[in-house]
A and B are shown apart, each in its own frame.
Chain A
Amino acid sequence: MQNTNRLRPFFENITFDRDDNELVLNFGPQHPSAHGQLRLMLHLQQEQIVKAHPDIGYLHRGMEKMAENMIYNEFMPTTDRMDYIASSSNNYGFALAVEKLIGLEVPRRAKVIRMMLLELNRLMSHIFWLATTALDVGAMTVFLYAFREREYIMDIIEDYCGARLTHAAIRIGGVPLDIQDNFIYDLKVFLDKLPENMKDYEDLLDTNRIWLMRMENVGIIPTEMALSWGCTGPMLRASGVEWDIRKEEPYELYDEVEFNIPVSDKGDNYARYKIYMAEMRESAKILYQCIDMYAETQKNNQTELMAHAPQYISAPKLDIMTQNYSLMQHFVLVTQGMRPPVGEVYIPTESPKGELGYFINSQGGPYPYRLKLRAPSFWHTGVLTDLLPGHYIPDVVSIIGTTNIVFGEIDR
């Protein structure tokens, strides 16, 4: 306990424990470099951390509870609020899980558009990651450059779905809209410029002494720890496990596109940085292929955007406006909601942060009986418990940065 008097005021963030010379530092929940509402209780010996307790729950909104009280389509915009840096990937994970539950096959053009959105979201998320991490480490210029590029992606997505952050751009059974005329042109302009922009970032960071000192050999996650803590995505690949759900358990058209999975066996901050950068290049590669695939669907006149399943999915707008039965179906689906079959699914997808899984237990009603959101950031925060001890206070900031956690999906 602190002995406070007029000369020694009460330090609300610090507890002095004189017996073993250990100091408890409260980091957050309002710390600007905690990437959200993360509170860390750090036990310190001098500057070294001996024990770390991440404390979460400051952004808990009870999404799983909300899901139990919403029809399936109603829940779609709520998923935006999980990983709000790349919201289409959350929409997609949910849509895919419900489609698997129902057993739907999505039309090819919708698949191509979904892949474009997913990869744009991945780019957006990774660029955002680079910007904020660089800022935490002290590189202000990279932050400004990267936010400029992120803005272009947001413009492209805004042109498509009207929203910049919470897209809700994917529906169960397909996508609501075809891409607009200038989408491909804008995308190409952006992609052609991307290598140049990335070279700028790398020129600023790769040989930067401060960046290297704070990244190299800091925050090493051994393979064992990464597997045991359920790390996925770039966190796992930086620790030497070649595992990308897009490649290993392909969904959509990922088995038709060519791309590589960057892997590193170092497991430190720098390895993660390199993997994020390499993944951005791979995403661009996928996007170029998607543009060709889209042109192909135009050539083959595959214009369908939503799956045809009248029991679950509303008919196209034209049918609803012209055919009585489609209108009735639509009315029932909007007011009562679809009723998927009785059963359970767990569907993982590779979101920019890692494995985003949706577990749905349906009892045949219009509301899911149980929906569990498996968000990658939850485990990437948990791993800090074992990762931080042994590091020093300044390392905490760069380690939190490279774990790429987003609190919307940790607390859900």
Chain B
Amino acid sequence: MRAYTPKENVQKKAYYTDRYWVAPQVAKFDVESDAVFSEDLKAIKDAKITVLEAFIQVDQMVVYIKPEDNVATLELLRDECGYTQLSELSAIDWISKRGGFEVFYQMLSMTKRKRLRIKCFIDEKQPIESVQSLFRSADWAEREMYDMFGVIINNHPFMKRILMPDDWEGHPLRKTYPLQGDEFAAWYEVDKIFGKEARDIIGPEIRDTARVDRYDTERFARLGHEVPKGAEFNPDQEKTPLAYQEDDGVFLIEGFEEDKSQIIRDRKR
């Protein structure tokens, strides 16, 4: 019987783990320790927005809110608190551990020179409201979030995949999606270009870029066993001489003669 491998997270795992090792934490500070951030947090709380958790980490405030409050919070931050730019918006896949995604909104205030991050947690199939009416930058960011994670976004004007092809199956940044791509990915281009009937002739696409087939004469040449491109490689074949052209070796490889070459010490600028 084949050994069972967990499928919920197929990303690379640490090869060696010490069971007694406790990972250190990046220090979290109280929001009260920063005058500007505590004011912003107060403004959020005053607007009757539920703050689940708030702290300062690496000079930036992180605020956890409920997913249904995302538009109201961002609008408040933009209009009242001066956070005029949404630098980044994306998700973190927590499906295997917590059954959903953590969506974060990275905000920047140029007048206060402060950055803060609004975070909320949604279930795997739970939709989240689009914020592109507040920040146009969310238009593309939300498309990317849908494309990469399959997060469902409500009221987006042009919801379509952005990086992957429109007819792609699966969401590549999920932890369940293997690095080399899945079954669908292996046949995608073959089906698209040559048609399904050519599958047997062509075979699945090799999506492991590090793979080297030493008998492949299409893409690799072997020093000492020069074979025409695409020809069958025969291990019993006579070795190609590895000498210079002058010594009856490989044509076009000339020996280096120092007295005939010129060395430039300082380039003319």
Contact surface of B with A, Cβ cutoff 8 Å: 11-12, 14-16, 23-26, 28, 57-58, 60, 62, 84-88, 90, 92-93, 104, 106, 110, 113, 115, 117, 135-137, 139-140, 148, 161-165, 172-173, 177, 179, 267, 269
Closest 4 CB pairs of A and B: A343-B26, A364-B23, A230-B137, A57-B163
A341 contacts B24, C-beta separation under 8 Å = yes
B88 contacts A346, C-beta separation under 8 Å = yes
B162 contacts A227, C-beta separation under 8 Å = no
Known: A57-B164, A344-B26. A189 touches B58 (CB 8 A): no
CB-CB under 8 A from A370, the residues of chain B are 92-93
CB-CB under 8 A from A386, the residues of chain B are 136
Extra contacts besides A64-B173, A248-B113, A383-B136 (4): CB < 8 Å = A65-B172, A346-B106, A346-B115, A359-B90
Cβ < 8 Å to B, chain A residues 192-246: 193, 225, 227-230, 241, 243
B103 → chain A closest CB, angstroms: 12
CB-CB under 8 A from A383, the residues of chain B are 136
B23 contacts A341, C-beta separation under 8 Å = yes
Q: Mark A374-388, 1 if CB is under 8 A from B, else 0.
A: 100011001101100
Set B12, B25, B139, B165: member contacting A367, Cβ < 8 A = B12
CB-CB under 8 A from B113, the residues of chain A are 248-249
A278 → chain B closest CB, angstroms: 20
CB-CB under 8 A from A346, the residues of chain B are 60, 87-88, 106, 115, 117
A336 contacts B16, C-beta separation under 8 Å = yes
CB-CB under 8 A from A359, the residues of chain B are 88, 90, 104, 106
Residue A271 CB within 8 A of the other chain: no
B267 contacts A355, C-beta separation under 8 Å = no
CB-CB under 8 A from A335, the residues of chain B are 15
B160 → chain A closest CB, angstroms: 9
Residue A135 CB within 8 A of the other chain: no
A379 contacts B140, C-beta separation under 8 Å = yes
Residue A145 CB within 8 A of the other chain: no
Closest A residue to B179 using CB positions:
A69
Set A64, A152, A230: member contacting B269, Cβ < 8 A = A152
Cβ < 8 Å to B, chain A residues 332-362: 335-336, 339, 341-348, 355, 357, 359, 361-362
CB-CB under 8 A from A369, the residues of chain B are 92
A243 to B85, CA, bound (A): 12
CB-CB under 8 A from A230, the residues of chain B are 85-87, 135-137
B23 contacts A65, C-beta separation under 8 Å = no
A60 contacts B136, C-beta separation under 8 Å = no
B242 → chain A closest CB, angstroms: 27
B140 contacts A382, C-beta separation under 8 Å = yes
B90 → chain A closest CB, angstroms: 5
> What are 8 pairs between A and B in contact, CB < 8 Å?
A193-B269, A230-B85, A339-B23, A344-B58, A345-B26, A359-B104, A372-B88, A374-B106
Q: Mark A35-47, 1 if CB is under 8 A from B, else 0.
A: 0000000000000
A374 contacts B269, C-beta separation under 8 Å = no
Known: A57-B163, A190-B269, A369-B92. A348 touches B87 (CB 8 A): yes
B25 contacts A342, C-beta separation under 8 Å = yes
Residue A411 CB within 8 A of the other chain: yes
A225 contacts B269, C-beta separation under 8 Å = no
Q: Mark A51-71, 1 if CB is under 8 A from B, else 0.
A: 000001100101011101110
Known: A65-B179, A359-B90. A228 touches B135 (CB 8 A): yes
B16 contacts A343, C-beta separation under 8 Å = no
A368 → chain B closest CB, angstroms: 10
A336 to B21, CA, bound (A): 15
A62 to B148, CA, bound (A): 10
A69 to B86, CA, bound (A): 28
Residue A286 CB within 8 A of the other chain: no
CB-CB under 8 A from B92, the residues of chain A are 361, 369-370
CB-CB under 8 A from A101, the residues of chain B are 26, 58
A333 to B14, CA, bound (A): 12
CB-CB under 8 A from A317, the residues of chain B are none
A287 → chain B closest CB, angstroms: 16
CB-CB under 8 A from A57, the residues of chain B are 161-165
